[in-house]
Structure 1
Amino acid sequence: MELARSTDPLSGEVSSAASIKTFLVEPNALLREGLRRILADTVYSPSPATGALDETISRQAHGGGNVVLIIDATRDHQETCCQARKLKETIPSAKVIMLVEQYDLKQVLEAFHAGADAYLKKSISCEVLVKSLDLVMLGEAIFPGAILELLQDQRAQISESKDEAASDEPHEMAAPTKGLSVRETVILRCLMDGDSNKIIARKFDITEATVKVHVKAILRKIQAKNRTQAAIWASSHLPASRQTPPAG
């Protein structure tokens, strides 16, 4: 794997007094050169650097500035997640962008829990890549919208398994986690289904403004940055339940 680095000053929407140090890890020489050319005229322009990734990152730990790691996660996803986690432990403010050939629910969740800031397909356009980097530098997390469909499929499979094993007697909804109220829990389930605020408002006969307040509280309590992160978190933490509480 070849390593690359950039020290161009941050400008435009993501301006900062510090510099961006961009590290590129991509084993495919053709794709690596393509990424270099795509990023050449941006603040993320990588240039060749020597040494192993661990050594280079360690040298940057006390150097200040913004650190961005763009890394291939296709060949050894688990190792890539380990590297992402190690980078975050060494430099908490560092940003990790993982590049993959296709989406897999289990791997997306692994990347999310490892601290990845963006999970992108290698087939995206040049403009989307650069814009995604800008959004990440502004504090956004970018995960595939298609993951919501995968979450729905997983949720359906879990529900079917639970239904087969459950008794016919009614049971109480499991206690919400992270201090979520019952209303917030069911709205979080709606986020897993990809429902918009308008759809959620119609389901529970409440206003969209009220839904927004609930969503904001949910994101704060589970420490998620957006609805997609909330849906991913819910798939791992919310128990399956067949009951929906009354509107109110």
Structure 2
Amino acid sequence: MELARSVEPSSGEHVAGRSTKTLLIEPNALLREGLRRILAETAYAPSAAAASLDELGSMAAFDGSTIVLIIDASRDHEETCRQAKALKDTNSGAKIVMLIEQYDIKQVIAAFQAGADAYLKKSISHEVLVKSLDLVMLGEAIFPGAILDLLREREAPGAHANEVPAAEDPHDMGPPAKGLSVRETVILRCLMDGDSNKIIARKFDITEATVKVHVKAILRKIQAKNRTQAAIWAASHLPASRGTPTS
């Protein structure tokens, strides 16, 4: 399992010091019990576990604590996203971790827009699960690095975006979104490709420091926490590329 970023989590003791209430939603009774036992000796020992959110009743009992919702999203993804958004609307500090069987670009974007903080395959190891929860508690959003490949396929099914020359015609970019400049829009497309600051700098003949300034501006304008969130946002908000200009 390739995590969406390489940030190292703080020690378990750091995270454990926070007041959290973990809710575990998994319709498969055997898997639910397995997850409960895995998390029992961690800072995320489930306070309650059920087959559905409806079984848990009101969230009022969890006032004053940070809610960590670990929920299966593989059976009814649309309904899970609806519930996630409803929880975020009533408790903006809640952390939502969705567990799925396989990746689908539309579902990843839907989960991101619903406010999911992590989107993990059920095939990950228990160590990765716990470390992912640590990162979520530190304010990180965890999406699979593999999703960048899906984003590239969605963006340019017949061509690779990183083959666009640096002297790109602004008219081929389509209108900027969310107040982004043309240069920021171009760089955002590079983020969708997973390009590093060094690669972007070479592509547009600018310094890495300038790239960092642009990336910070992009994240601020689209209210993304990191490059992966920005790439996912771009997949559903930027206009489709009108083709690679010829040199």
Moved more, 135-144 or 45-54: 45-54
- Output the amino acid matched with 2:151: L
Contact preservation (8 Å) 1:100, 1:121: yes
Cα distance in 1 for residues equivalent to 2:244 and 2:238 = 14
Match of 2:15 in 1: 14
Cα RMSD of the aligned pairs, angstroms, is 2.6
- Output the amino acid matched with 1:59: A
Higher radius of gyration, 1 or 2: 1
Give TM-score scaled by structure 1 length.
0.83
TM-superposed CA distance for 1:189, in Å, is 0.4
TM-superposed CA distance for 1:12, in Å, is 2.1
Alignment of 1:135 with 2:127, yes or no, is no
Cα distance in 1 for residues equivalent to 2:242 and 2:48 = 55
Match of 2:31 in 1: 31
Contact preservation (8 Å) 2:25, 2:49: no
Match of 1:94 in 2: 94
Cα distance in 2 for residues equivalent to 1:51 and 1:149 = 33
Alignment of 1:188 with 2:182, yes or no, is no
Moved more, 179-188 or 96-105: 179-188
Residues 209/233 of structure 1: CA separation in 2 closer, same or farther (3 Å cut): same
TM-superposed CA distance for 1:49, in Å, is 5.9
- Output the amino acid matched with 1:106: K
Secondary structure class of the residue paired with 2:45: coil
Cα distance in 2 for residues equivalent to 1:154 and 1:134 = 31
Contact preservation (8 Å) 2:24, 2:70: yes
Match of 2:146 in 1: 146
TM-superposed CA distance for 1:171, in Å, is 4.6
Unaligned runs of 5+ in 2: 1-11, 161-169
User: Superposition pairs for residues 184-223 of structure 1, below 5 Å?
Assistant: 184-223=184-223
Secondary structure class of the residue paired with 2:156: helix
Cα distance in 1 for residues equivalent to 2:52 and 2:213 = 47
Cα distance in 1 for residues equivalent to 2:101 and 2:126 = 16
User: Superposition pairs for residues 152-163 of structure 1, below 5 Å?
Assistant: 152-157=152-157
Give TM-score scaled by structure 2 length.
0.83
Contact preservation (8 Å) 1:158, 1:240: no
Cα distance in 2 for residues equivalent to 1:102 and 1:148 = 14
Cα distance in 2 for residues equivalent to 1:33 and 1:118 = 21
Secondary structure class of the residue paired with 2:70: strand
Moved more, 18-27 or 95-104: 18-27
Paired residues, what number?
A: 225
TM-superposed CA distance for 1:196, in Å, is 0.9
TM-superposed CA distance for 1:58, in Å, is 3.0
Cα distance in 2 for residues equivalent to 1:204 and 1:74 = 41
Residues 57/118 of structure 1: CA separation in 2 closer, same or farther (3 Å cut): farther
Contact preservation (8 Å) 1:87, 1:94: yes
The percentage of counterpart residues that share the same residue type is 74
Match of 1:58 in 2: 59
TM-superposed CA distance for 1:117, in Å, is 0.4
TM-superposed CA distance for 1:56, in Å, is 3.6
Residues 210/244 of structure 1: CA separation in 2 closer, same or farther (3 Å cut): farther
Residues 179/76 of structure 1: CA separation in 2 closer, same or farther (3 Å cut): same
Contact preservation (8 Å) 1:70, 1:96: yes
TM-superposed CA distance for 1:94, in Å, is 0.2
Residues 144/180 of structure 1: CA separation in 2 closer, same or farther (3 Å cut): same
Moved more, 26-35 or 115-124: 26-35
Cα distance in 2 for residues equivalent to 1:50 and 1:231 = 34
- Output the amino acid matched with 1:143: F
TM-superposed CA distance for 1:241, in Å, is 3.1
